Chain A
Amino acid sequence: MPARRSRALLLLLPAVLPTAAVLGVALTVAVLQSTGLVPVVGEPEPSLAAYRELAGGRALLDGLRVSLGVAAASTALALAVGLGTALLARTTRLGGRLLRAAAAATVPVPHLVGAAAVGLLLADSGLVARTLSVAPGEFPPLVAGPWWAAVVAEYAWKESAFVALVVLAALAAGERELDETAATLGAGPWQRLRRVALPLAAPAAVGAGGVTFAYVLGSYDVAWLLGRSSPEPLPVLAYRLFTDVDLARREQALAVAVVTTVLALACLVLTAALLARTTRRAPA
């Protein structure tokens, strides 16, 4: 039906057009500028100098290591806690309502505010140190320390709520009936968890995990506030280079932006592939 088809296109336009324009233009400019084709000053001249210079120094490699490490640790923790919350919430009525409300209440907390709060909690003069009455100077450096503990804690906290809500939404679509049928057929709680709840939760968890990983990889504020100044995660490195008085550094900043974007998009593609496998294996 051509009439309906053009109607669908018209309906899509207000979302598709700005998205394509903003992402397309931004990424094109980033690629062009990082390869010397749109210099801030001087004549355009194609070169991979920005990438070569970055690859030669330690900053990019360190950034990759820190960013991927923090993203992996945060995602693993968020998935564990979020899945645990969702699976627990479905077994108890009152507890389930409370857990749902608690998870929903963390969603509107901006990440930077979460970071400020986690700082007040985990700093060497924070609430945890006070509660444990640790002598000044003996508390482990969770904030701005070598293990990025406070950064991972903030991401794990916010994103575990996201994972829990996404998984709960997926479970709401018919888990109860399947679960009760399995119970009637004599399946024990452990079997029902493994054969009913987990297969239903798996696609949602995979999707939420992929989104969390990509988000943490590209997020600036929490690592900037709670991390140490060196080595820098990729977004922090990019912002420092971007705001350097030496305008030539901008090309390197955009190169870091391109590298981070490629990684995040690869993560999303990988998630989609994984999702296709999980949904195929799950009993419908």
Chain B
Amino acid sequence: MSRVAPARRRAGVAPRVALLLAWFAVPLVPLLLWAAADRWSYPAVLPTDWGTTGWRQALDQGALPALGRSVLLGLAVAALATPAGAMAGRALALHRVPARRVVEALLLAPVAVPPFAVVMGLTTLALRLAIPAGAGLVVVLAVSAVPYTVFVMRAAYAGHDVGMEEEARTLGAGPRAVLLRVHLPLLAPALATAAFLAFLVGWSDYVVTLVVGGGRLVTLPMLVGALSSATGNDAVVAAVSLTAVLPPLALLVATALLARRGAR
């Protein structure tokens, strides 16, 4: 079925695509330039001296330990929020859930309730109950990630064929084998997407870490915040910022490839 597309209309598409691509790409251009600049005095459009000063300063400022903490935080949040979201998604998609509207609203609520309000309310209590800061941080962020993991997994289970699991059971597979060999492999792409989104919640967080850690728990966003609120740090800000962008971008590409393989 060919679509009616007059040449005049077609001709207008390319510039508009280019314009929108520029909208998404342009904000990252100064990061790339500054990260490769030793010196970049004002009116010059390109760096005056190229070099790796920004990256060396980033190492001196503790970018590596900050990267490690961010990875750990993201992984911890994903480890909690992904299975919880998958189970809730399965229940919402395949089972009769009592008080469904209430459950759905509750699981969506963390999207709307501001994280700073949650963490300020909890801090007072956590201090009184002497809950360790790290555990509190992970739990608060995992709850923030739950709406995303539930959303992804619910959609995946809605298109999931339970018949495959039943067939495997008829053929003599035990519950463990059904889970590991049929159920999870079929949902691997969705699980990867959900885990990625949950990882990003921990990886990107600023304000919850700020309030819980009181500025002492330095993750990558904390380092970017501290460096970019002072002036004259542009090269090192760019280097640390790229350190905070590139790993999840690589992960995104990997997830997309996995999803494509799963779709085949």
Task: Give me the interface of A with B, judged by CB distance under 8 Å.
Answer: 1, 4-5, 7-9, 11-16, 18-20, 22-23, 25-30, 33, 38, 40, 81, 84-85, 88, 91-92, 95, 98-99, 102-121, 125-127, 130-131, 133, 136, 154, 157, 160-161, 179-180, 183-184, 188-189, 211, 214-215, 217-221, 224-225, 235, 238-239, 242, 250, 253-254, 257-258, 260-261, 264-265, 267-268
Contact = CB atoms under 8 A, between A and B. Distances in A.
B238 to A, nearest CB: 7
A119 B5 CA distance: 41
A126 B244 CA distance: 21
Interface stretch (B24-32, B58-66, B167-175, B182-190): B24-32
A168 B144 CA distance: 24
A27 to B, nearest CB: 6
Interface string B19-43: 0110111111111011000000011
B121 A27 contact: yes
Contacts of B3: 179-180, 183
Contacts of A38: 124
Q: Which 9 A-B pairs have the closest CB atoms?
A: A218-B114, A108-B248, A26-B121, A110-B204, A8-B95, A257-B117, A95-B17, A30-B121, A120-B30
Interface of B: 1, 3-6, 9, 13-14, 16-17, 20-21, 23-31, 33-34, 42-45, 83-85, 87-88, 90-92, 95-98, 103, 106-122, 124-125, 139-140, 142-143, 146, 149-150, 200, 203-207, 210-211, 220-221, 224-225, 228-229, 234, 237-238, 241, 244-245, 248-249, 251-252, 256
Contact of B13 (A88, A105, A126, A211): A88
Contacts of A225: 225, 228-229
A160 B241 contact: no
Given A33-B124, A102-B24, A264-B113, A12 B91 contact: yes
B66 to A, nearest CB: 12
B40 to A, nearest CB: 9
Given A29-B121, A88-B13, A111-B204, A5 B98 contact: yes
Contact of B114 (A9, A13, A118, A264): A264
Given A15-B149, A22-B122, A23-B110, 9 more contacts: A11-B91, A19-B109, A27-B113, A27-B118, A105-B249, A108-B200, A108-B251, A238-B117, A257-B120
A18 B21 contact: no
B170 to A, nearest CB: 19
A110 B43 contact: no
A268 to B, nearest CB: 4
Given A105-B249, A113-B224, A11 B125 contact: no
Given A25-B125, A130-B44, A235-B114, A116 B87 contact: no
A110 B206 contact: yes
B200 A107 contact: yes
B106 A20 contact: yes
Contacts of B106: 16, 19-20, 23
B112 to A, nearest CB: 4
A283 B33 CA distance: 49
Contact of B23 (A120, A160, A217): A160
B20 A121 contact: no
A121 B29 contact: yes
Given A99-B17, A265-B109, A235 B116 contact: yes
B36 to A, nearest CB: 13
Contacts of B140: 22
Contacts of B119: 26
Contacts of A106: 24
A145 B235 CA distance: 23
Contact of B244 (A25, A113, A189): A113
B10 to A, nearest CB: 8
B209 to A, nearest CB: 10
Contacts of A28: 121
A40 B113 contact: no
B115 A14 contact: no
A115 to B, nearest CB: 8
B225 to A, nearest CB: 6
A92 B17 contact: yes
